Structure 1
């Protein structure tokens, strides 16, 4: 399974929505604390882009040294229609400073020095060591995951349903007359997670591991072919 540090880094480098919370700072609109860009530096610090007139930028500019603390909260929502769509949340807390000169005119880059981090997702809750976060690498499928899941759901729902044959005893409740639906809900280099919907909001997840971790779309295509072949046997 991907480590907690890898999962957190993957969420940071994904397109998931994020808000930067600064204690004591109030804003008129929620989008005023939503960075329009985010990246990770070599030391594991986060670089967050904001309009230069953002309340967050003003607070960081006025702060002395590293006295301003902040928390970046990321919410991961499944890109397909499925019960319980929130797949996870990540939280990175640290010290916020403005870094002039890194952004284009009218923008300001803020640096969040990582002090502590955690992730609470489909794998469970784990705290993340800042050094582990610094050294982790995002999942290689992160930039394609949403599109791939949507494609599997829209174009291959019939093949997704055949995966119930790999569930063993639990497949007994998934025969066609019981209306079991299979929705691909998460994908990473190690495997595919499918949410089987038994009717209404009743559902359960099953994880299908690939024979070996995939590194790109080509290897993923072969791994999915192997998985569907196993279900058809």
Structure 2
């Protein structure tokens, strides 16, 4: 499974929504605290792009070094229609300064968030992340295309996704014959599906034989997974 640092780094570099919270800063328009862009530097610092007249930019411009604390709050929502769509949240806290040495578009200000600590609560569980671990972690290689891939699976391969339930352990007779199956999350290690039954909702994780690094690897892994699910489903039907 991906480490807590990798999952946090993936969320930061994904398209998940984020808002910067600066204690003591009055905000009239909450949308003004949403970064226009976020980049992770080589040393693990976050570089956040804001409008030059945003409350965050004004506060950082008047703050001394290491004086202004802030928290970047990230909320990850599933890109497909599914019950309980929030897949995870992450909080990156640290100290905010103006990054004056980086090229910035006119009318914008790039702020540096020096990471002090991070935490997350996602489909894998909760975790704490140290700054050094965050700096050296890598985002999942599928993150740039995950939303598109999940939407494609949901729209074009719904029947095959539903077959995957045949690979789920019987668990004493529970979780049988789901009425719905939605691909919920995808990473280099596997696919997570949310099944809806007559009385319950449950997630199942289907791991790939080995981590995938790109589209070709993923294509082979998904075909092998669907072939195994179809074989298992036909086997159950024949019994």
Q: TM-score normalised by the shorter chain: which range applies?
A: over 0.9
Contact map agreement 1:174 1:180 (CA 8 A) in 2: no
SS of 1:174's partner is coil
**Cα distance in 2, alignment partners of residues 173 and 20 from structure 1:** 40
The equivalent residue for 1:188 is 187
Contact map agreement 2:99 2:111 (CA 8 A) in 1: yes
User: Could you give the per-residue CA deviations for residues 30-81 of structure 1, whole angstroms, max 9, x where no partner exists?
Assistant: 1110001000011100000000011110000000121000000000000001
**Cα distance in 2, alignment partners of residues 54 and 65 from structure 1:** 19
Contact map agreement 2:182 2:194 (CA 8 A) in 1: yes
| Residues 76-91 of structure 1 mapped to structure 2, 5 A cutoff | 76-91=76-91
| Residues 131-150 of structure 1 mapped to structure 2, 5 A cutoff | 131-150=132-151
The equivalent residue for 1:16 is 16
The equivalent residue for 2:234 is none
Q: 1:180: Cα distance to partner? A: 2.1
**Cα distance in 2, alignment partners of residues 29 and 218 from structure 1:** 44
Count of residues in correspondence between the two structures:
229
The equivalent residue for 1:217 is 215
Instruction: Evaluate the alpha carbon distance shift between residue 83 and residue 212 of structure 1 in structure 2; reply closer, same or farther with a 3 A threshold.
Output: same
**Cα distance in 2, alignment partners of residues 214 and 36 from structure 1:** 30
The equivalent residue for 1:33 is 33
Instruction: Evaluate the alpha carbon distance shift between residue 198 and residue 94 of structure 1 in structure 2; reply closer, same or farther with a 3 A threshold.
Output: same
Q: TM-score, structure 2 length as denominator? A: 0.93
The equivalent residue for 2:176 is 174
**Cα distance in 2, alignment partners of residues 73 and 26 from structure 1:** 17
Q: TM-score, structure 1 length as denominator? A: 0.95
User: Could you give the per-residue CA deviations for residues 106-132 of structure 1, whole angstroms, max 9, x where no partner exists?
Assistant: 000000000000111000000001101
The equivalent residue for 2:61 is 61
